[in-house]
Chains A and B, each alone.
Chain A
Amino acid sequence: MEATFATHGTLPPKAQGNTPRSHGCPDPAEYVVFDRVQKSYDGLSLVVKDLNLAVSKGEFLTMLGPSGSGKTTCLMMLAGFETATHGEIRLSGRDINLVPPHKRGIGMVFQSYALFPHMTVAENLSFPLEVRGIAKPQREAQIKHALDMVKMGAFADRRPAQLSGGQQQRIALARALVFDPALVLMDEPLGALDKHLREHMQLEIKSLHERIGITVVYVTHDQSEALTMSDRIAVFNDGRIQQLATPADLYERPQNSFVAQFIGANNSLRGLVEEVKGDRALVRLSNGELISATAVGVNAKGQETSVSIRPERVEFKPELMPAGAHTIDASVIDTVYMGDILHCRLKAAGNDNFIVKMRNTLGQTKLSPGERIRIGWHPEDARALDPI
């Protein structure tokens, strides 16, 4: 854990093609490596385009992306159910492209759980141990340990159909862990659970990971799940990793507009770059205002850009406005009640879906539709990204 946070925001060094691979003591930062991996199902289009990714030992890495972005495909290639069309996948320094799935020793939790319906819970857990030829007393000890780990010790003799979704989920987890794999893959394992159970299981999986020190590659399309659980997140879109970073980095310093839009709520303002100086850019918004933003996806005058500002960093009360804030005019469209917070939709600088978040406190100002206000943010909180 500490080791991963120490590499805060930096990518593990990419494997060099000419580095001799030491099979004896592989680099723990390169426990799982995707090296220029491409995948095509139909020979016409690439589902995974040039994937380079290194997962370090003990890390909890999440692949996050919209449906169809190629996450499952990557996981299936790692598990051995799909072969990479091009490139190399290495596990502990060993190329595993030709290793069949059952020899990879990777635990896997499926979205559908895939608990064998004709076996009891205990038999399900016993299966990976039996195929490994482990003797019965040892098997029973390991099954008990794994069931206790997910607090399901009392359910050993039930059939999967007699368990609730959350219980099945735990059993699937226990089955993937019972044979002590060093690497566990999970493909949207919580997708079928209701919100409460999902949040509860997120924490349990996270604490399990910390307790037993396994490496986890986790797939989800739920950004809040990714932010809660991961050491690092790889944001997928269109078969490519858009950004690979820690949750905080990803949220606060998105590298492109896709990531800014996909993670959390985002306000984007379109404009043209007037000037780039160091890491600052001056952007002329569509309503003619000139604002300063952190230059991320722009580097020259005249480029189109989309400036990203998080709703919670936008202020509209003059007394709370941060020093040096940039302010612009806005008019209120409506306010959406969300319980703990209120979403106020504004029309500002050509964007008529500009969101401001207000806490639902006792004396909170009521904004009525049509009201004209002045909103502002600190220039540090505006990021000039690639145009959408």
Chain B
Amino acid sequence: MAALLEVTTADGRPLRVALDAARGRARLRAMALVAPLLIFIVITFVVPIGQVLFRSINNEGFAQTAPNLTAWFDANPTNVAPDETAYTALAADLELMRRNRTAGAAGTRINDVLPGSRSLFTSSARAAADFAAPFKDAVLAKDARWADPRVWHAMRTASNRYSLDYYIIAADRQRDADGRIVSVPPERRLYVGLFAKTLWQSAFITLLCLALAFPIAHLIATVRQSTANLLLILVLLPFWTSLLVRTSSWIVLLQGQGVVNNVLVAMGLIDTDHRLKLIYNNVGTIIVMTHVLLPFIVLPLYSVMRMINPAYVRAARSLGASSWTAFRRVYLPLTLPGVAAGSLLVFILAVGYYITPALVGGADGQLISNMIQYHLGASNWSLAAALAFILLAGVIVLYWIYDRLVGVDKLKLG
């Protein structure tokens, strides 16, 4: 049986070899065609994201501004209390910071994990030129806060090249005097709540979009082609104007003296002293984001609905189903790939949305992206990167759950 006849081509080459050769050429050509995009994506997407990830755990800054302290931390394990040699190193580093004007940067780094400690660095550095041995007494005389073990913990972790400090901050945690990770006091908790709010608000916007998009997508999918084209253009019309202009026009509509309020007052539904607050808050964020993201769910829904043969619903009706039953048991299940794809798209876009909350969100309508942007603006790249990465990881986890529940292979985007 081992001596099976090998099938050969007409000129005697083994068929398998000939097939591989033919396929290999086609594969090479295909690779050459996708290569430009592949390279582009690697350069503009994979590399920057990798860098951001790296930023979130990498902090060489403190080690460079405070080389003596870093050396002492390397030489002494965690449980060694700071002694005279430690304070000597501290005094030397403070003097370095004074000369290099880096006390602010070092202070900021420690301030991130231990709020209020920036001034400790800047004021002590200003006095660094006058420090003399014994340094421990000199430094403590300048500022007693240097005795706080939390400061030394913070400096020790900051002197490591890699640390998860920023993830600890992003989780609303901090290290206590013994170096244990504990929750920050309730009034300073910020990020976890904001993550949660971002997620539920995105889910709510997705539901609103779905509820609004389903009927219109159905309409577009069932009218004559020419009418459908017109309606599709109307759906896509928002994309023709700048996002900024669209968002601003919502301000015109929704503000206190805006069109909506004026109409309601004119109709006598509300009185002029109790105008609705529709913008510069969460309500505004939700309304405007629903509007901005609507086309992203209409299109996949429409493309799925257009392919549903109207005979299915007719068949269901002729088999005795009321119009509601026919919808629920036949039409709706057939639209699920579009519902799933559109919802996922809108949700993921909403989770990372930034401009709309920034413009119309006011104080309480901000989402996690606005916080990321704030930290980027404040040059706190590491925290911004940690927040961004947590967001990315969260979305990936949700996507995985979604795949488990719905099945990504069922998605149909167009």
Contacts and interface: CB of A to CB of B under 8 A. Distances in A.
A and B associate: yes
Q: Which of B312, B319, B325 has the most CB of A within 10 A?
A: B319
B206 to A, nearest CB: 23
B394 to A, nearest CB: 31
Interface string B143-157: 000000000000000
B258 to A, nearest CB: 43
B314 A114 contact: yes
Interface in A132-175: 132, 175
Nearest to A118: B333
A154 to B, nearest CB: 23
A338 interface: no
A128 B320 contact: yes
Main secondary structure of the interface of B (DSSP, over half): helix
Contacts, number: 66
A81 interface: yes
A110 B315 contact: yes
A108 interface: yes
B315 A114 contact: yes
A108 B315 CA distance: 7
B100 interface: no
A12 interface: no
- Size category, A interface: 20 to 34
A117 interface: yes
Interface string A81-121: 10000000000000000001110111110101011111000
A68 to B, nearest CB: 18
Given A110-B311, A112-B309, A81 B317 contact: yes
B334 A127 contact: no
B312 A105 contact: no
Given A116-B312, A131-B325, A102 B318 contact: yes
B315 to A, nearest CB: 4
A175 B333 contact: no
Given A114-B314, A114-B315, A131-B325, A179 B333 contact: no
Interface in B310-330: 311-312, 314-323, 325-326, 329-330
A114 B321 CA distance: 15
A339 to B, nearest CB: 36
Contacts of A117: 334
Contact of A179 (B316, B320, B326, B329): B320
Interface in B194-237: none
B320 A105 contact: yes
A81 B314 contact: yes
Contacts of B323: 100, 102
B320 A102 contact: yes
Contacts of B312: 114, 116
B407 to A, nearest CB: 13
A79 B320 contact: no
A114 to B, nearest CB: 4
Given A110-B315, A114-B309, A102 B321 contact: yes
Contacts of A132: 320
B317 A101 contact: yes
Contacts of A100: 317, 322-323
B311 A127 contact: no
Contacts of A115: 315
Contacts of A114: 309, 311-312, 314-315
B332 to A, nearest CB: 10
A42 to B, nearest CB: 11
11 contacts: A79-B318, A100-B317, A102-B317, A102-B319, A116-B316, A118-B333, A118-B334, A128-B319, A128-B321, A175-B315, A179-B320
Closest 4 CB pairs of A and B: A128-B319, A114-B315, A114-B311, A108-B318
